[in-house]
Amino acid sequence: MLYLNYKKVVKYGSEEMSDLIKKALDEVENKKNMVEKDYHRLSYHLMAPSGLINDPNGFSYYDGRYHLFYQWNPFECNHSTKFWGHFTSKDLISWENLLPVLAPEDWYDKNGCYSGSAIEKDGQLILFYTGNVKDDRGNRETYQCLAVSDNGEDFEKLGPVIVNQPEGYTRHFRDPKVWKDGEVYYAVIGAQRENLTGAAALYNSPDMKNWNFLGEIKTDLGNFGYMWECPDYFEINGKGVFIFSPQGIAAEGDRYNNIYQSGYVLGSLDLEKVTLQHNGFHELDRGFDFYAPQTMIDEKGRRIMVAWGGLPEVNYPSEDKGWVHCLTMPRELEIIDGKLVQRPVEEMKKLRKDFVQVKDIFSGKKTYPGIEGDSFEMICRIKSIEAEEFGINLRVGKNEKTVLKYNRIDKKVILDRSSSGESFAEEYGTTRKCSLDSSEIIFHIFMDRSLTEVFINDGAEVFTARIFPDEKSQGIEFFSDGEAEISIKKWNI
């Protein structure tokens, strides 16, 4: 439920709307018909009005509203330029797309207002982002910059507060995530060491303007990829969570099959020793299209995460329709039995309509009246009586289906998009799997035309996948190679 609201006139300080922002809005207007006609546009996930959306930025709650900014290239479906677009919402489900708040038009961000975060200070909302600058020879400079607002809509840029990187690191130094501990502001920044391995830097500041480099966060991860993007540190009930998106991790069986990963370690960060004691790295999502997540804590004390429902350097079928990518739905994070668990935020239930329920004992292949569609939520609990493999075919149509299943012998959940529709990114494989040991599986599925998010067993694992089926492929089939008990609840959205 996305409304566009471009009527307000934006001002940077006292200046009128800049030419670059006008140009971006013209582009939205020009592409509007082509973009909005596309069947694969999503019905309840956030997308850019045209062009490319990637990382969620500045996710915050300020002045009675959630603010969710985003990396946006309004002109093309590539990463050539980056604005900060701006969504707001009072309830996490009904969103307004406001005017962009940052445009790459100053000397310190001319090649992109790259990712960053937001925090409230003295009644103002402050954005902390990376200004990306490249010279004619491709040399990069990197500035961590501020922008402030008194109303959460009009932002004034204050320019750089951290210039380039500390010694020992390359200029791949970006994506500040800020939080406050007592009276002190802390920020983690994604970095690359001079030996071309990934790391995260820790800074602190008394006032958000003067920043001290405290050191690289020491971990047990060693050489873990060549760059860490979008780091995020927070605590849930006193337990530390460090999320980051490492690039350059080789595939290992069912793990790390996407071009780049996003994952977490649990532990605790000693802010004085700049040391993170932690356990192993886990991928946050076991599907295909998930990257650069960012979290915030809301006024109800919930830790909520949103990610980019896509990946860098992969081409997607909607690009020739003038738009590409989306954000995932907001997911609430909790730590249960030493694991980060993700669940759709409670508010998603407000989108439910047309309830259908089924209970059955079945084997073979089965369909049920009213259980079909391309925009829905479905909770399907399947308990094996004597089945070894059972699951669901989603978006079934002529020669098309997206297969979600569980194999009790291998103890694996499998998502197969090899016949989902228009193919893409096949060089990274067409199935994703993860281990899970249970005779009963709950598939909690959100389908939104060209995106599905599947929460397995109450958020123990999540699979996100873009799929591009035909509009007519709306069937849902249940299958089991032996007797199984099934209970289905489904709502259209």
Residues identified as active-site? 55
> Minimum distance from CB of 268 to ligand FRU (Å)?
25
> Minimum distance from CB of 475 to ligand FRU (Å)?
35
Which residues contact residue 482 at a Cβ distance below 8 angstroms, ignoring those fewer than 6 apart?
363, 384, 385, 386, 387, 388
Report the residue number, 257 or 402, with the smaller CB distance to ligand FRU: 257
A 10 A CB-CB count for 182 gives 6
312 in helix, strand or coil? coil
A 10 A CB-CB count for 382 gives 24
**Residue 64 class from Cβ within 10 Å (0-12 exposed, 13-18 middle, 19+ buried)?**
exposed
> Minimum distance from CB of 46 to ligand FRU (Å)?
16
> Minimum distance from CB of 291 to ligand FRU (Å)?
6
Rounded CA-CA distance 302/296 in Å is 8
Report the residue number, 82 or 278, with the smaller CB distance to ligand FRU: 82
* Closest to 477 (Cα-Cα) out of 313, 343, 327, 367: 367
172 token code pair: 């791949």
HEC assignment per residue over 109-172: CCCCEEEEEEEEECCEEEEEEEEEEECCCCCEEEEEEEEEECCCCCCEEEEEEEECCCCCECCC
Rounded CA-CA distance 48/71 in Å is 9
Report the residue number, 312 or 475, with the smaller CB distance to ligand FRU: 312
Report the residue number, 80 or 357, with the smaller CB distance to ligand FRU: 80
Rounded CA-CA distance 469/471 in Å is 6
Residues that bind ligand FRU (CB under 6 A): 54-55, 71, 79, 82, 114-115, 130, 174-175, 229-230, 291-292, 312
> Minimum distance from CB of 348 to ligand FRU (Å)?
25
The one-letter amino acid code at 54 reads: N
Report the residue number, 226 or 491, with the smaller CB distance to ligand FRU: 226
> Minimum distance from CB of 70 to ligand FRU (Å)?
10
Helix then strand then coil, in percent of the chain rounded to 5, is 5, 55, 40
Report the residue number, 158 or 259, with the smaller CB distance to ligand FRU: 259
